[in-house]
Chain A
C-alpha cells in the first residue's frame, strides 16, 4: 500500500521522489531537484507564484503533496524554454512589458502555457479568468493579458 519508492516525470525526465507524508511538490522541486525557477510566495495557494503543470493542468505546487504526483508529468518553468531559447510566450511577456520584478513570472508563464495549449486564441476575458489565481504586484496585469492575446495561435502546442 505504501510503496518504498515512487517516481515522477519532471520536464520529461523520470526522477525518484524522496519526500514523505506532507512534503510539497514545491519543496521537492526546489530543495531536492534544485529547480528554483518555481517560486514560493504565500504558501497558501493564493498567489500562484508556485504554479506548475501536472498532466497539463496548472496547480499550486505549495499545496500539492509530492507523493500525489507519482507517475504524473510535472512541467516547471525550466521545461518551458528549449535550451537557451525562450518560448514565444516568454519573449512576448518581455517585449510587452509584462515583467517587472519577475518573481510572479514563472507562475504566470505556466498558467498561460496551459491556457494557450487549450485555447490558442483566447479573448481578454478568458485570459483574465485563467489568471485569477496568479497575483502580480508590479505590472497591473494589462501588459500580461495583452501579451497573451497577441500570441494568438503562435504559442507552440507541444
Chain B
C-alpha cells in the first residue's frame, strides 16, 4: 500500500483526481487505521492530508468556518466555540480520550459517518454546510443533512476532498447544548447523543428551534416535527413533552452491544427535556 504525502491542497486534489476510488484519504488515522487493520477497507493508496496548511483554522466571518483538519482538541479548547457554539466544543470533548482527540479531525468524524458520530448533531443544529473541492470541478457546498446519506455513507465524489464546514451565525439570543448518554463519561460511543439550538425574541418566545440526535437511527437527523412544536412557545414542560414524543416518532433505535432500543426510547425524552430546560434558561437569562 502506497503512502502519499500531500504537501498542499492542490497535491491532494491531484492525487484524488488520479486515483479516485483506489485512494483512501487519511488525516489523524483514528478511524482509517482501525478499518485497515480489520480489513474493512483495502485502498491502493493512502492520501495523507494531515499536513496541508490552512485547513486547520477556526474563523468567524458572518458564518463560522471550521477547517476539515481542525482536531477534536482544537474544537474543545477553542475560545471562539466555548460560548455560542458550545455544543460543538462539548461533543468534541466527549470523543475518545486525549490520544484520539489530539489527532482525530472534524473532517474525519463527519466522513466516517458513524450513526453515533458525536459531532454530527451539533453541526446539524448549526445548519452546517460541507465544503468540498475537486481538481476538475472546483468547489461546492452541500448541506450536511444531504451529505451524510446513510450509515457510513457520504455524498463525496471519489475525486473530492472535504476541506471544511460552514456553520450558521449565532447571536446573543441563541444558545446551544449537547448531551450524551454513555456508560462512561469518556471513551464511550454514544448510546444517545442530542444537540439543541434555541433562539428567542425579546419576549423570550422561541423563534428558531433546532434539534438533532445520533445513535437512534442509521443516520443522525434533525427532528423537524419536534422543532415546530417548540416554535412560538417558552418551552414550558407540557410543550417540551409534546416535542419529545415527536422526536421518538422519528427515531428508529436498535438493540446493540451498548444498549437496547427500549432503553434508548426511555432515555431520549428525558435527556431532551433536561437539555431544553438548560438551553432555554441560558438564552432567556441573557434577555435582561
A68 at the interface (CB under 8 A from B): yes
- Min CB–CB distance B258 → chain A (angstroms): 14
A58-B98, A59-B102 known; A46 vs B36 contact (CB < 8 Å)? no
Residues of A within 8 A of B100 (CB): 45, 60, 133
Nearest chain-B residue to A66 (Cβ)?
B3
Task: Check A21–B34 contact: CB distance below 8 A.
Answer: no
A132 at the interface (CB under 8 A from B): yes
Chain B interface category by residue count: 20 to 34
Task: Check B186–A129 contact: CB distance below 8 A.
Answer: yes
A46-B187, A58-B102 known; A21 vs B97 contact (CB < 8 Å)? no
Nearest chain-A residue to B50 (Cβ)?
A68
A76 at the interface (CB under 8 A from B): no
Q: Which of B2, B4, B33, B34 has the most CB of A within 10 A?
A: B33
Contact of B33 among A46, A51, A63 (CB under 8 A): A63
Residues of A within 8 A of B98 (CB): 58, 111, 114, 129-130, 132-133
Residues of A within 8 A of B256 (CB): none
Which residues of chain B from 27 to 48 have a CB within 8 Å of any chain A CB?
29-30, 33-34, 36-37, 46, 48
- When A and B form their complex, which 5 residue pairs have the shortest distance between CB atoms, in order from nearest? A133-B97, A21-B1, A132-B186, A132-B97, A63-B33
B225 at the interface (CB under 8 A from A): no
Nearest chain-B residue to A71 (Cβ)?
B51
- Please measure, in the bound complex, the distance between the C-alpha atom of A130 and the C-alpha atom of B103, giving whole angstroms: 15
Task: Check A67–B11 contact: CB distance below 8 A.
Answer: no
Task: Check B97–A67 contact: CB distance below 8 A.
Answer: no
A2 at the interface (CB under 8 A from B): yes
- Min CB–CB distance A73 → chain B (angstroms): 14
- Min CB–CB distance B33 → chain A (angstroms): 4
Chain A interface category by residue count: 20 to 34
Task: Check B99–A58 contact: CB distance below 8 A.
Answer: yes
A11 at the interface (CB under 8 A from B): no
Which residues of chain A from 25 to 68 have a CB within 8 Å of any chain B CB?
43-46, 48, 51, 57-60, 62-65, 67-68
Task: Check B5–A60 contact: CB distance below 8 A.
Answer: no
- Please measure, in the bound complex, the distance between the C-alpha atom of A44 and the C-alpha atom of B189, giving whole angstroms: 14
Which residues of chain A from 105 to 143 have a CB within 8 Å of any chain B CB?
111, 114, 129-134
Residues of B within 8 A of A64 (CB): 29, 33, 103
Which residues of chain A from 1 to 33 have a CB within 8 Å of any chain B CB?
1-3, 20-22, 24
Task: Check A132–B3 contact: CB distance below 8 A.
Answer: no
B26 at the interface (CB under 8 A from A): yes
- Min CB–CB distance B26 → chain A (angstroms): 7
Task: Check A133–B50 contact: CB distance below 8 A.
Answer: no
Contact of A133 among B34, B46, B187 (CB under 8 A): B187
Residues of A within 8 A of B26 (CB): 65, 68
Residues of A within 8 A of B2 (CB): 2, 21
Extra A-B contacts (12), CB below 8 Å, given A46-B187, A133-B97: A1-B5, A1-B15, A24-B33, A44-B37, A45-B30, A45-B96, A57-B102, A57-B103, A64-B103, A67-B48, A68-B29, A132-B186
Nearest chain-A residue to B26 (Cβ)?
A65
